[in-house]
Amino acid sequence: MRFEKIKSHAKVNLSLNVIGKQKSKLHNLETLVAFVDLHDQILIKRINDKNHEVKFSGQFSNKVPKENTISNLLKILDKKKRIKNHKYSILIKKNIPQKAGLGGGSMNAASLINYFVKKYKINLSSKERYNLCSQIGSDVILGIDQKNLIISYKKKITKIKKNLKMFTLMVKPNFGCSTKSIFKRVRRYSKPQLLKIRSKNIDFNLMSKMKNDLEPISLKKYPRLRKLRDYFLNIDKNSYVRMTGSGSTIVGYFKSKKAALNAKKLLKKNYKNYWCNLSKTI
């Protein structure tokens, strides 16, 4: 049996507002999410074995823990007999860095959920789908459709049907941010802002006025991240710059590829050891 290929795209948070805290101590969030053409590649095929085989390769494979989003997903599906006791060989080439705010591991799990749902015609209600995703990670639900989304207050999901047509320059320092550590430092909450926004009204100007509530916290905790952000801000006045997720990736958003390429040259010259990727929204 041949391997089937799956693309697992990185996500960026164009905005992220922390609205409050639940009784479970998890935070209520609203966010505007876009997907970019940077992706991990997943190869999958059925095997005649007693156990699944999961292997990682690529630039960012060495820090993937033994227990990860893929192994956790397979355990859940096996326990519920959703994949008929079949076993799989899964090879994942990691092009998306960890602890970057780009959702690499979460999107891998979401991509496989989509694959298995289609292959085995698994019928999942919205509630079942949400519960399955939440058992693996809070961001997994974002990757189920891999479409640009508005997640507004009370988890209302609105798909953005149009391509946002932006070039993204993603720069990650040689360290990652702990999501748990960043959220522990949240002291103030925002009022819901995305509920009234219609997807057809989202444009570059509107997105440039949004914010990420976690950014000030991460910048304070990591001075090198603040230095990178401040340098990025001065490169192109027609672009805007924002941290994605809880960091540590800083993203510049550009209307033209030429402007993004120019910014990349300057950043690579001054931050030679930082990971840098030029992509575009899909």
Residue 29: C-alpha distances to residues 20, 128, 233, 237 (Å): 7, 20, 26, 29
Domain identity same for 8 and 72: yes
* pLDDT over 80 (residue 23): no
pLDDT above 90: percentage of residues in the chain:
86
What CATH number does residue 45 fall under? 3.30.230.10
Q: Alpha helices, DSSP H only, in 32-103?
A: 69-79
Domain identity same for 142 and 241: no
Domain identity same for 199 and 148: no
Name the domain count of the chain: 2
DSSP codes of every residue in 219-272: HHH-HHHHHHHHHHHTT-TTSEEEE-TTSS-EEEEESSHHHHHHHHHHHHHH-T
Write out the two tokens for 147: 């479409």
pLDDT per position as a tens digit, 58-101: 999 998 999 999 999 999 999 999 999 999 999 999 999 999 99
What CATH number does residue 260 fall under? 3.30.70.890
Return the sign of the alpha-carbon dihedral for residues 136, 139, 141, 143: negative
Domain identity same for 253 and 123: no
pLDDT per position as a tens digit, 90-144: 999 999 999 999 999 999 999 999 999 999 998 888 889 889 999 999 899 999 9
Choosing from 40, 94, 99, 139, the catalytic residue is 139
Domain identity same for 131 and 240: no
Q: Which of 157, 187, 216 is the last residue of a domain?
A: 157
Residue 256 has a pLDDT of 97
How far apart are the C-alpha atoms of 85 and 77, rounded to whole Å? 9
Domain identity same for 271 and 131: no
Residue 176: C-alpha distances to residues 108, 150, 279 (Å): 19, 26, 20
Residue 187: C-alpha distances to residues 18, 75, 101 (Å): 10, 36, 20
Domain extent, residue 138, equals 4-157
* pLDDT over 80 (residue 24): no
pLDDT per position as a tens digit, 141-171: 999 988 899 998 877 888 998 889 999 999 9
Domain identity same for 167 and 206: yes
Domain identity same for 238 and 123: no
* pLDDT over 90 (residue 240): yes
Residue 95 has a pLDDT of 98
DSSP codes of every residue in 90-111: EEEE--SPSSSSS-HHHHHHHH
Please say if 139 is a catalytic residue: yes
